[in-house]
Structure 1
Amino acid sequence: MSNDDHYGGGDVGGTGQTRTRLPDSPSDPYGTPRRTPRASRGLVTVVGVVVLLVAAIAFANQSSDSSGGDTASDKPPTTTSTAPTGTAPVTTKSAGIPKGFAHDEQGAQSAAANFAVALGSDGMLKKDVRHALVDGIYTAEAAAQRKGTQDTAYSPAFLATLGLDPNGNAPQGNTFVTRAVPVGTHIESYTPTTAKVSVWYTGLVGMSGAKSTTPVRTTWKTWTFELTWAGEDWKVVSDTQQDGPAPVPGDVAASSSDDISKAVQEFGGFTYAR
């Protein structure tokens, strides 16, 4: 910037008077004002860049939220990956099992999570309830195969190892706890007629009671369901389980058997929707 630019030319106020500019010195009263515009201009430039950057980020986020091209399985987890998504949860049940799941990826994930809860409940210990659950969750062909196999697995001898009688009942004064609590779901594959969904869940299993030799403990497993769209809803064709992923145990002290029994009775479960 020249002196003429800074002072508006050789004349001051158009009077014809001429101002003589002395050389700069440390005590020059005009020195600091002359350099200030450069600093101000630099500050304005920085602020402008920051504003443009924030605007660009906001625009990018808005564009990403409004686009519908990618499915949830195509994107890495985000800070909102555990928040409910757009499909509304089911509003009806059959034999205690939610039904009427959406015919899309979200519906398949919701179905798998709720199936894990039902199949991990204490209803599976009682033959009549177990058959109703299996009939409501599996296809007719798969249910017919499962019921015989499960009746053999839940034999009186097996139930006795859990501390239960042949009908799946706990001794008086005791509460048998078995729950599956989904932590998250993942679409392995999807078509409009089939889906493979994995459910990562933590389980509670054991006998709560003063004399129990099998106290309630936690498990961590992944339950994978092969689903098919049949009869206007998702049904299970086959399923498998594997251990983990399991986190490092926390340092919270175990509660008493009375507290566990009370919690199981007071705290109900959820209908899970993705």
Structure 2
Amino acid sequence: MSPGDERGYGDYPEPGQTRTRLPDPDPYGGAPRRPQRSSSRSLVTVVGVVVLLIAAIAFANRGDETPTTTHPTKATQPQSTATSASGTRPVETKTGGVPTGYAHTEQGAQSAASNYAVALGSTGMFNKASRHTLLNLLYTHEAVTRLQGPMDQAYSAEFLAKMGLDASGNPPKGSTFVSRVIPIGTTVREYTAGSAKVAVWYVGLIGMASSTSTDPVTSSWKTWTFDLRWTDGDWKISSETQQAGPAPVPGDDRAATSDEISKAIEEYGGFTYAR
């Protein structure tokens, strides 16, 4: 849900810790492929930031929420789910540009998790005001109280600078900062009338599109698992974890230029996702 243990959505530590939503710097496979980055730069831009964010999120989650007394109706082992869309319209309304007002059903929980991943993987998380808006909109009151301070510390000026952004989360003039999450599919791991655990498999994009950028836009594949609670008439996030993969074998696509990426980001809008 915020800066993760990565440059954006990077690799995450052991399960059970709440993390963030940003993509990992796994270089695009392409023909020609991008040259390998030096290990020293990777250490500074990835590992250094990852350690900072992991520490902040781990600190934020030292206090576990009170577990629900309702026994889940589904086993922790996910059941096989049809890959075809349900055909059910996910929501009729938006709040702050984010789809809200989901059905109190398994499908509603899956749709909520997908769209929440998109919102939390956006560039809005890199600006303090918009980040606070997203946290208060998508998380339970208890989770916001626990996470907001540490999240602000994690998105420090130093972290933003490593991403190529200024203290307000803005890219340099003439550059386009990219941070997007594109859900591939969802599955319900647990479900009760008051809670749901939903996993979202997604591909993330993150980096700076600029002719002078040393941190180009790359893609990564992750699975983001949300613990949701039915609160105030909608699904809200109480905690979350992320893990790497499953990632397909990279293809031989030609890596786009920074200008092509910038143009695509400006021209292609996102979707409202539904299960």
Larger RCO: Structure 1 or Structure 2 (Cα < 8 Å, ≥ 6 residues apart)?
A: 2
| Aligned-pair Cα RMSD in Å | 1.5
**TM-fit CA distance, 1:87:** 2.5
2:34 maps to none
Taking structure 1 as the reference length, the TM-score comes to: 0.71
SS of residue in 2 equivalent to 1:111: helix
Structure 1 residues without counterparts, runs of 5 or longer: 1-72
SS of residue in 2 equivalent to 1:151: helix
2:239 maps to 238
Verify: 1:105 aligned to 2:106, yes or no.
yes
Verify: 1:226 aligned to 2:227, yes or no.
yes
**TM-fit CA distance, 1:74:** 7.8
SS of residue in 2 equivalent to 1:258: helix
**TM-fit CA distance, 1:75:** 6.0
2:217 maps to 216
Contact 1:205–1:217 (Cα < 8 Å) also in 2? yes
Q: Which has the higher helix share?
A: 1
Identity %: 56
Q: What aligned pairs does 1:1-274 form with structure 2 within 5 A after superposition? A: 76-78=80-82, 81=83, 83-274=84-275
Paired amino acid for 2:271 = F
Measured against aligned partners, the alpha-carbon deviations of 1:131-170 in whole angstroms (never above 9, x if no partner) come to 0001000011111211111101100000000111111000
Contact 1:87–1:107 (Cα < 8 Å) also in 2? no
Farther-moved stretch of structure 1 (128-137 vs 86-95):
86-95
Contact 2:230–2:236 (Cα < 8 Å) also in 1? yes
SS of residue in 1 equivalent to 2:199: strand
Contact 2:178–2:206 (Cα < 8 Å) also in 1? yes
Contact 2:78–2:187 (Cα < 8 Å) also in 1? no
In structure 2, do the counterparts of structure 1 residues 74 and 140 end up closer, same or farther at CA, with 3 Å as the change threshold?
closer
**Alignment size in residue pairs:** 200
SS of residue in 2 equivalent to 1:166: coil
Q: Which has the larger radius of gyration?
A: 1
Equivalent-residue separation in structure 2 for 1:114 and 1:183 (angstroms): 12
Measured against aligned partners, the alpha-carbon deviations of 1:165-206 in whole angstroms (never above 9, x if no partner) come to 111000000000000000000100001110000000000000
SS of residue in 1 equivalent to 2:250: coil
Measured against aligned partners, the alpha-carbon deviations of 1:17-74 in whole angstroms (never above 9, x if no partner) come to xxxxxxxxxxxxxxxxxxxxxxxxxxxxxxxxxxxxxxxxxxxxxxxxxxxxxxxx98
Runs of 4+ aligned residues of structure 1 deviating over 3 Å after TM superposition are 73-78
**TM-fit CA distance, 1:214:** 0.3
Contact 2:78–2:190 (Cα < 8 Å) also in 1? no
Taking structure 2 as the reference length, the TM-score comes to: 0.70
1:39 maps to none
**TM-fit CA distance, 1:77:** 4.9
Equivalent-residue separation in structure 1 for 2:153 and 2:250 (angstroms): 34
In structure 2, do the counterparts of structure 1 residues 153 and 215 end up closer, same or farther at CA, with 3 Å as the change threshold?
same
